[in-house]
Structure 1
Amino acid sequence: MADNEERALKLIAEAEKKMRSSEGFFGMFSRSAKLEDASELYQRAANMFKMAKKWSAAGNAFCESASIQLRLASKHEAASNFVDAGNCYKKSDPPEAVNCLHRAVEIFTDMGRFTIAAKHHISIAEIYESEVMDIEKAISNYEQAADYYRGEESNSSANKCLLKVALYAAQLEQYPKAIEIYEQVAATAMDSSLLKYSAKDYFFKAALCHMCVDLLNAQHAIQKYEEMFPAFADSREYKLVKTLLAAAEEQNIDAYTDAVKDYDSITRLDQWLTTILLRIKKGISGDPDLR
């Protein structure tokens, strides 16, 4: 470990020496070559720091290399170095990782590389949802990724991003936004023989979001989904929603709880479904502290 760090520091010193020599009068005639050499030395140093698990130092070295590549107008190489820096900073400084990835995204979008930019917006979103814990910014980056994917006709990738947006929008009680996305993605899935089966799950989640807002609208939504996608009416999810609606209208907490337990005994509830179903239950009971 120590040997790798020492080698990295020597490479940094060598790179700095190359940078200084490129600034003098005599160095100007071979400036590009010296800058290229310095950039390569910073990259080698970064990899040595990675082997020593000195993640911030590695990120710094990749950033130095990226800055040099921008001076050389090598946009792709600069962006790639910012991505490498971001990947290092993820392990030591998540906010700085976000900054580096944003710089890479700016370069890739300027180059018209929107699919790559979308991929890195997803990486940023994942940092916000798991490290920085800022769900609003995670949503924003997933939405931007979806926009870029749609522009490139990568609709499947766009829908994956939108489903993440819907999941978090519902968690933040932004139900109309979640409903719109689930209905949109369900309609798209219905047109695909490979994805058709998943449409029932999206209609199911949209129906639950409706129940969080208004039971009458939920009834109308269920009827609409059944007409749009008759197979939905044969699903366990449809039967559960119908049972929950009946229990909600009667304010029958026991019937509601039993229906959820029966469903969970066959299809395990994930955290999202558990949260949404609890919110509906609280609304039925009128008890905000119900668990």
Structure 2
Amino acid sequence: MGDNNEQKAMQLMAEAEKKLQYKGFFSSLFGGGSTRYEDAIECYQRAGNMFKMSKNWSKAGRAFCEAANLHFRLESRHNAATMYIDAANCFKKSDLEEAVSCLLKAIEIYIDMGRFTMAAKHHQNIAEIYESSPNLIDKAIHHYEQAADYFKGEESTSSANKCMLKVAQYAAQLEDYEKAINIYEQVASSSLESSLLKYSAKEYFFRAALCHLAVDLLNAQHAIEKYAQQYPAFQDSREYKLVKNLCEHLEDQNIDGFTETIKAYDSISRLDQWYTTILLRIKKANNDDPDLR
């Protein structure tokens, strides 16, 4: 069945090419070029769908790209962007760089049309593509920041914050703690302004406090007191008590106590990979045992 669909798709691609090359007498006399383009677009779209059915993602992407280029020539910008997105969705399964290239073309069109929320969503898509490769995290950060900027411009604060939290997560992983702290503090403050979101401020203050602790013990101690003033409920939280205890153990150079405190916390509230990575770095930085450094 797949082969059959692929054959049909190849025929439709050839048909589209033929339509684009054909210039009849009446067509040139009465300017019927747009009809040729429209007919070719239809063939490319159908071919793309046939390639999709046979799971030939690369050729499906190419067919949708051809359709997008023709829509663009006809100044049908919305349709061109839609086709580039269709192409990108196919390339995601076969060629990530091609997928990004198509998404960037769609973004350019959306920005030109003043559709910044759409542009933001697709910058987010690109960031998600890049974050699957550990060596491309810098690119993921860049596109999450772009997405956040456009979301902010459209007053989509919660979407902007979601993107900035991703930036903070990766900034901390790359040991750019200053950047991570600034974002976590900003998002926590913005969350406190909403009765629905204020409870999530606890997590952002906790993350910011751990980033401080990865840099400087005294700063971390000042930070948690400042956070408790901003959000009094934070002082009663297990997260606040954990950071306070960790600070005390580091002050006493009690690495065993530091480890036991984390274990006790983790047995009740599981710490994910991000937390364990940061805590392990703090432990190593404060341990005199050369094997743990």
Check 1:289–1:178 CA distance in 2 against 1; reply closer, same or farther (3 A cut).
Answer: farther
Rounded Cα–Cα distance in structure 2 between residues aligned with 1:251 and 1:242: 14
Residues 139-158 of structure 1 mapped to structure 2, 5 A cutoff:
139-158=141-160
Match of 1:17 in 2: 18
Pairwise CA distance, 1:219: 1.0
Of the three residues 155, 179, 184, the one matched with 2:186 is 184
Rounded Cα–Cα distance in structure 2 between residues aligned with 1:132 and 1:209: 20
Q: Is the 8 A contact 1:46 1:62 kept in 2?
A: yes
Pairwise CA distance, 1:290: 2.0
Check 1:281–1:33 CA distance in 2 against 1; reply closer, same or farther (3 A cut).
Answer: same
Q: Is the 8 A contact 1:210 1:217 kept in 2?
A: yes
Match of 1:106 in 2: 108
Pairwise CA distance, 1:40: 1.3
Rounded Cα–Cα distance in structure 1 between residues aligned with 2:224 and 2:26: 77
Farther off after superposition, 101-110 or 279-288: 279-288
Q: State the secondary structure of the residue aligned to 2:271.
A: coil
Percent identity between the two aligned chains: 66
Report whether the alignment pairs 1:274 with 2:276.
yes
Report whether the alignment pairs 1:261 with 2:263.
yes
Rounded Cα–Cα distance in structure 2 between residues aligned with 1:284 and 1:110: 52
Match of 2:233 in 1: 231
What are the superposed Cα offsets for residues 92-130 of structure 1, whole Å, 9 maximum, x if unpaired? 101111111111111111111110111111110011011
- Number of positions where the alignment pairs a residue of Structure 1 with one of Structure 2: 290
RMSD: 1.3
Check 1:81–1:21 CA distance in 2 against 1; reply closer, same or farther (3 A cut).
Answer: same
Rounded Cα–Cα distance in structure 1 between residues aligned with 2:109 and 2:129: 20
- Give unpaired runs (5+ residues) of structure 2: none
Match of 1:206 in 2: 208
- Give unpaired runs (5+ residues) of structure 1: none
Pairwise CA distance, 1:34: 1.2
Check 1:132–1:248 CA distance in 2 against 1; reply closer, same or farther (3 A cut).
Answer: closer
What are the superposed Cα offsets for residues 41-94 of structure 1, whole Å, 9 maximum, x if unpaired? 101100000000000000000110011011100111111111111110010101
Check 1:73–1:289 CA distance in 2 against 1; reply closer, same or farther (3 A cut).
Answer: farther
Farther off after superposition, 232-241 or 129-138: 129-138
Amino acid at match of 2:227: Y
Rounded Cα–Cα distance in structure 1 between residues aligned with 2:290 and 2:4: 59
Amino acid at match of 1:63: C
Rounded Cα–Cα distance in structure 2 between residues aligned with 1:186 and 1:289: 37
Of the three residues 32, 37, 40, the one matched with 1:38 is 40
Report whether the alignment pairs 1:55 with 2:57.
yes
Rounded Cα–Cα distance in structure 2 between residues aligned with 1:94 and 1:154: 28
Farther off after superposition, 39-48 or 28-37: 28-37
Residues 108-127 of structure 1 mapped to structure 2, 5 A cutoff:
108-127=110-129
Q: State the secondary structure of the residue aligned to 1:285.
A: coil
Give the TM-score taking structure 1 as reference length.
Answer: 0.97
Rounded Cα–Cα distance in structure 2 between residues aligned with 1:289 and 1:40: 65
Match of 2:5 in 1: 4
Amino acid at match of 1:70: F
Of the three residues 132, 138, 151, the one matched with 1:136 is 138
